[in-house]
Amino acid sequence: MTATQHTPTPWTLVVNKDRRNVWGTPAWDGRMPEVIGADGHVIADIRWNGKNQERGVYNAETIVRAVNAHDDLVAALKVGLACVEAEGNGKCSPTAWWKFEQTARAALAKAKGDVP
């Protein structure tokens, strides 16, 4: 059995100012953020109750950052675990620890949104 794959990354957040709801009228204030996959497909429309639009957009930005950083975080953890496992045999080199540190720092920065 093959596992279902998620929509390709990177995902982006786009505010579509001309978006209309199902009745053909402008969606809320005429803006509806959408999460878009690298393949151009809409993954999600971001909706809110009209009282806290900023929170809805912030939540969407957080989701996009987390999804886009996922593969980097997993790779960093794999490097770190390989080093930890090798350390038990006295085989984890300073170079391997340095690689882990650099990989982990870059992945965390991406997850936090500290990189472009």
Q: Over the stretch 58-99, which tens digit does the pLDDT of each residue have?
A: 888 888 999 999 998 888 888 888 877 776 666 777 887 788
Whether residue 3 is contained in a domain is answered as no
Put simply, whether the predicted model's pTM sits higher than 0.75 gets the answer no
Residue showing tokens 């996009």: 64
Residue 6 has, within 13 A of its CA and on its CB side, a CA count of 13
Q: Where are the alpha helices (DSSP H) in the chain?
A: 53-87, 94-112
| Average pLDDT along the chain | 78
Q: Find the domain containing 43 and state its range.
A: 12-112
Rounded (10°) CA dihedral 18, 24, 27, 29: 80
Whether residue 20 is contained in a domain is answered as yes
Q: What percent of the chain has pLDDT over 70?
A: 74
Number of domains in the chain: 1
Residue 26 has pLDDT above 60, yes or no: no
Q: Residue 14's pLDDT is what? A: 84
Q: Residue 87's pLDDT is what? A: 67
- 99-to-44, 73, 113 alpha-carbon distances in Å: 36, 13, 21
Separation between Cα atoms, residue 57 and residue 94, nearest integer Å: 42
Position with higher pLDDT, 90 vs 22: 90
Whether residue 5 is contained in a domain is answered as no
Position with higher pLDDT, 45 vs 65: 65
Whether residue 7 is contained in a domain is answered as no
Q: Residue 11's pLDDT is what? A: 93
